[in-house]
Amino acid sequence: MDSFESERAPLPRNMIENSMFEEEPDVVDLAKESPSYPIDSDDVVYEPRSSRLLVRGLGENDLDEDEEDYESSARLLGMSFMNRSSNQRSASSSYTRQQPSGSCSMPSAKTTVVGVLILVVVVSIFMVIYFVPGCTFTRNGCPKTNSTMNNVYPKSTSGELFPWNELRLPSSVHPVRYEISLQPDLKNMIFQGSVSIKVEVLHETKIIVLHSSDLNITKATFEGKVVPVLEYKPWLQIAIKFPEDLKKGTYSLNIHYTANFSNSYDGFYNSSYVDTNGTKRVLAATQFEPLAARKAFPCFDEPAFKSTFLIKITREPNYISLSNMPKVKTTDLKNGLQEDEFKESDTMSTYLVAFIVAEFISYSRNVSNTTVSVYAIPDKKEQVHYALDTAAKLLKFYNTFFEIDYPLRKLDLVAIPDFLAGAMENWGLITFRETTLLVGNNSSPIDKQLVTSVIAHELAHQWFGNLVTMRWWNDLWLNEGFATYMQYMSISNVFPHLDINTEFLNVRFKALAKDALNSSHPVSTVVSTPEQVEEMFDSVSYEKGASILLMLNATLRDGEFRKGVIEYLQKYNRSNTESEDLWNSLSQVSKQNVNVSEMMHTWTVRKGFPLVTVKRNGTQVTLSQEHFLLNAENSTDNSSLWHIPLTYVNESCSVLSSCKQVFHLKDKTAILKLPAKVKWLKFNFRSEGFYIVHYDVEGWKDLIEALQNVTVLPCEDRAALINNIFALSRLGKVSFRQVLNLMNYIKNETETAPLTEALFQLGQIYRLLDKRSELNLASRMKSYIDDHFGSLMESQSWELESSVSKMTLRSALLEMACSLNRLNCTTQAKRLFDQWVDSNKTFQIPSDLMTTVFKVGAQTEDGWDVLLSTYKHSICDAEKRKTLEALASTQDVRKIIWILQKSLDGSEIQTQEFPLVIHTICKNFAGYLYAWDFVKENWGKITQKFSIGSFAIQNIIISATSQFSTKTHLMETQNFFSSLGAKGSQMRIVQEATETIKQNMRWMEKNLDTLQHWL
């Protein structure tokens, strides 16, 4: 089985800008009761085909055939497989080589050799004549533009040839300064703009090529003279051709244009909300990363084309406008409008430019030389204070930590009512979802942990990303991995009570799960198409990036990591970098015998991570490494070796950091000599390294025995043992019996990290069994959970709680308990829900229990109606999301369909929540097939709202498919995605989805019997 991808995170919780919102610590779905609503057939407007076929008990598993049969029938169906493995290919070619015996006589070996030689010579001569251009043998070789490929130019919109044929812009012309003037019209949802770009010609050229998307260009002048503009829409480029070479020097290019506001969540888009008086309010905001600045103004939209920006915005007097820099003046215009002009910016990348026109209020505070302000809609003015306080503290921390002060005079944090990403680090104007910035009066420390995390992440970007920027999107991890790492590091320093280390541990487990699939990719990966750029915003860039930085920091001596980072930031201040630049800076400060560059190279250019196997014989320990790959038959590379800074402890000293010993494993195998005999060894201290450890039978046995005394290892190590043994069971290295042997200690466990990890792992298995209609096994799994966690579930309080760690634990336990229909849990939850309803929603449900309580409440008709009204009227976004999760967890099919439709069209449920809706519905048996069919049938609409490859799309696909574990569903999934063509068939996430289903199938086939026996 492997749905750990699926449940752990459709996209991970800490992927701050992206998707932390799609995940809550639910462990299993709600108990299935028969729908309490009689379904009127007239009301059911949507009935998925697959749901009609695949209902519980129909025995879909009977359809399973073996892999080979499946492949052949798929071939017959003409399906194209995204995930073809090399050995599948070789198998099919060996098939075609087979000749029917005796169909023709075989030529002699000699004739064959002579014939082949003649053929080779003829073909070679032909190829030389045909392909080698005339200039090959000249001294200068071929000028690049003469090569065969480069001579093929596309046609521009006007029919004339477009003078450029690459996705990346030519490097001969650089922008130096933009002056942008915008006149947004919020009534008619259009805007007019003009941009004056000062460009520098570095090499003589006859063309200027830049980006533009969905802009209607009305006039362009170059050095004051009108010039025609050619457009090639598929690549979002425009070009100006000149009859003569432009000499080196600076020139001025002016472009006037009009455009509609974007109706997706990127570019310059409009957003609306209804205030507490019932009035609809409209605003306009931007989201440019990665490729949408070109939707707001023509520009050189690549991160390495850094430039300065001077921005002017026209608005009505009752609105305010904001941009990256402080406002320098406001001018009254004749038409009653006003124009704000902002100070010219520092040199920066286009994706960091931002502007907003809205009716917001703000609170401010000075930190050093910077004015920090938090903006929100007036109805939520009481919810900004926590963010302001937190941002001020974190800004001070980073100013000190990096030894470079935040360079701008102002820092705005703005909560946007309709915003798809979690947050965006625009320099000086960070935009957030309301959930990630605003904290209500009743918000718990867990809600605050989320807000703190997002602010810490975005502030870290002001240095990592904004001051020093990756050269190209292949090194996105330099931005995201670093910001993610810094977010945990800063919070554990500044807000130790938020228990962020447990969260970071979970994040590392998530990253391992994703990276164990063949569909994963190296941290630093070649990307060229827009879809590939979008796909980089994933767990590998964020979470694996952060994990390998933790491993490096834990390997270096105290202070060296920080010193190297400071040196890197100083050296590359306001410029662009690649991974190697960071490693070189860190290598220079490392006083140890560790070649940082050589070590980290193995972690950034190879996908996946190592499995370290430990075999002990007395004092001699044999260590070996191999690629931990769940679908090994698809492996394309078996020779990967990592430079692993292996850490270990033993019984003589095992809890403190000072106990940790290090062994650098660089080869396939190595011998570690211990100075004395030990009872047991535990590798990967506190799971700080990005690898999984397997022990021989004795090694596991010794550790299981050692766990009789729970405190013998730090809680991170206990959680990691649980995580690792489940992963090894998926890999087939240990039996499920061994897993259960280790799990026996859990009755003595009290700490959050190991308990939530165990619940998570068991919950995944339970859900897969449930979805396969293995009712008997699902019920035995339920008894197993009852037996091992029951007393802990019973002992949880339902009162207000202040410890984050305790809240995290009890919300996981009680959510599981109520979903398994434990009477005590559902009764208590119902009691709180009724109290809340009876008090006209003034009774305070502990915030960490709200989802559980609401989910129980949502199972009755009245409860659901109350929650829907709460969703519509609540001004607390965190509460709204919990309410929506409860609404989407209904067992009533009519309601499920209603939510799917309303969240996609955005009429009653915000479209930004569509991924969360899909994720929540797919956890439950009642709706997961409906959700899948809905996704398939509405794919066109969905990809209009969310870009192909984006985190939202990744999230939707994984949520909708990761619970499948049968061949029928595998075929259906592959069939659907292969039919999409340009609309998404090439996405990496599609490969991940099919791989996950195959993994689920394999695990189930292998372990169903074991489960019968051992549960």
Annotated binding site: 457, 461, 480
Cβ-based nearer residue to Zn ion, 536 or 909 = 536
Strands (E), 399-457: 410-416, 423-424, 429-433
In the complex, the smallest distance separating the C-beta of residue 485 from Zn ion, rounded to whole angstroms, is: 11
- Whole-number minimum distance, CB 16 to Zn ion, in Å? 5
In the complex, minimum distance from the CB of residue 454 to Zn ion, in angstroms, rounded to a whole number: 9
- What is the 3 state secondary structure string of 162-230? CCCCCCCCCCCEEEEEEEEEEEEECCCCEEEEEEEEEEEECCCEEEEEEECCCCEEEEEEECCEECCCE
Cβ proximity to Zn ion, 508 vs 788, nearer residue: 508
The three-state secondary structure class of 488 is helix
DSSP 974: H
Binding residues for Zn(2+): 457, 461, 480
Nearer to Zn ion, 17 or 770 (CB): 17
Only one of the segments 58-66, 370-378, 476-484, 635-643 lies at the binding site for Zn ion (rule: CB under 5 A); that segment is 476-484
Tell me how many residues contact Zn ion (CB under 5 A).
3
Residue at shortest CB range from Zn ion: 483
Binding letters toward Zn ion, positions 504-543, x by CB under 5 A: ----------------------------------------
Span interacting with Zn ion, options 125-133, 154-162, 479-487, 771-779, rule CB under 5 A: 479-487
CB 532, min distance to Zn ion, A: 18
Beta-bridged to residue 685, according to DSSP, are none
Instruction: Single out the catalytic residue among 458, 543, 749, 815.
Output: 458
CB of 844 to Zn ion, least distance (A): 33
**Cβ proximity to Zn ion, 24 vs 480, nearer residue:** 480
Residue 289 sits at φ, ψ, to 5 deg, of -75, 135
- CA-to-CA distance for 764 and 747, rounded, in angstroms? 20
Look up tokens 């098939």; give the residue. Answer: 95
Query: Rounded to whole angstroms, how far apart are CA atoms 612 and 609?
Result: 10
Mapped onto helix, strand or coil, the DSSP state of residue 393 is helix
Distance CA 110, CA 995 (A): 46
Strand order in the sheet with 205-211: 205-211, 237-246, 230-232
Q: Are 50 and 934 in contact (CB under 8 A)?
A: no
Structure token digits, residue 292? 């949408």
Element (H, E) at 934: helix 928-937
Q: How far is the CB of 17 from Zn ion (least distance, A)?
A: 5
Q: Which CB, 374 or 483, lies closer to Zn ion?
A: 483
Smaller CB distance to Zn ion: residue 480 or 815?
480
Residues 6+ apart with CB under 8 A from 429: 322, 323, 324, 354, 355, 356, 412, 414
Closest to Zn ion by CB, 454 vs 858, is: 454
Quick one: which segment of 10-18, 585-593, 635-643, 872-880 binds Zn ion (CB under 5 A)?
Answer: 10-18
Residue 730: CB atoms within 10 Å:
22
Minimum distance, C-beta of residue 541 to Zn ion, in the bound complex (Å): 9
Residues from 60 through 99 that contact Zn ion (CB under 5 A) = none
Task: Choose the stretch contacting Zn ion; rule: CB under 5 A; options: 79-87, 194-202, 472-480, 603-611.
Answer: 472-480
- Give the integer Cα–Cα distance in Å for 614 and 622: 6
Taken in order 631, 637, 639, 645, the sign of the CA dihedral is: negative
Nearer to Zn ion, 480 or 534 (CB): 480
Identify which of residues 262 and 462 has a Cβ nearer to Zn ion in the complex. 462
Residue 93 burial (10 A CB sphere; 0-12, 13-18, 19+): exposed
CA-CA-CA-CA torsion sign (974, 975, 977, 979) = positive
Across the strands, what pairs with 195? 180, 255
- For Zn ion, the binding residue among 483, 500, 886, 1004 (CB under 5 A) is 483
With contacts defined by CB under 5 A, name the span among 13-21, 53-61, 853-861, 877-885 that binds Zn ion.
13-21
Query: In sequence order, which residues have a C-beta less than 8 Å from that of residue 222 and are 6 or more positions away?
Result: 208, 240, 242, 251, 252, 253, 254
Shortest distance in whole angstroms from residue 638 CB to Zn ion: 34
Is the distance from CB of 972 to CB of 1006 less than 8 angstroms? no
- Binding segment (CB under 5 A) for Zn ion, from list 373-381, 478-486, 510-518, 772-780: 478-486
Closest residue by Cα to residue 845 from 476, 990, 853: 853
Residue 7: what residue type? Answer: E
Q: Does 707 bind Zn ion (CB under 5 A)?
A: no
Taking residue 615's Cβ as centre, other Cβ atoms within 10 Å add up to 16
Tell me how far, at minimum, the Cβ of 134 lies from Zn ion, in Å: 50
Min separation Cβ 8 and Zn ion, Å: 20
Q: In whole angstroms, give the CA distance from residue 450 to residue 441.
A: 15
Q: Is 316 exposed, middle or buried (0-12, 13-18, 19+ CB in 10 A)?
A: middle
* Tokens matching residue 796: 């949880």
The pair phi, psi for residue 152, each rounded to 5°, is -90, 105
Q: Which is nearer to Zn ion, 565 or 765 (CB)?
A: 565
User: Which among 40-48, 473-481, 502-510, 807-815 is the span making contact with Zn ion, rule CB under 5 A?
Assistant: 473-481
At residue 866, what is the residue type?
Answer: V
- Pick from 2, 17, 418, 770 the residue near Zn ion by CB under 5 A: 17
- Residue closer to Zn ion by CB (options 514, 563) is 514
CB 22 within 8 A of CB 527: no
Q: Can 316 be counted among the known catalytic residues?
A: no
> Shortest approach of Zn ion to residue 10 CB, angstroms?
18
516-529 burial, b for 16+ CB within 10 Å, e for fewer? bbbbbbbbbbebee
Going by DSSP bridges, is the β-strand pair 225-226/216-222 parallel, antiparallel, or unpaired?
antiparallel
CB of 457 to Zn ion, least distance (A): 5
How would you list the strands of the sheet with 620-627, edge to edge?
Answer: 669-673, 620-627, 610-617, 692-695
Other CB atoms closer than 10 Å to residue 592's CB: what's the count?
A: 11
What DSSP designation does 849 have?
A: G
User: Of the two residues 314 and 436, which places its CB atom closer to Zn ion in the complex?
Assistant: 436
Return the bridge partners of 237, or none: 211, 232
Residue 546 touches Zn ion, criterion: CB under 5 A: no
CA distance 429 to 1008: 53
Cα 492 to Cα 756: distance, rounded to the nearest angstrom: 20
The set of catalytic residues is 458
Which residues bind to Zn ion, rule: CB under 5 A? Answer: 17, 480, 483
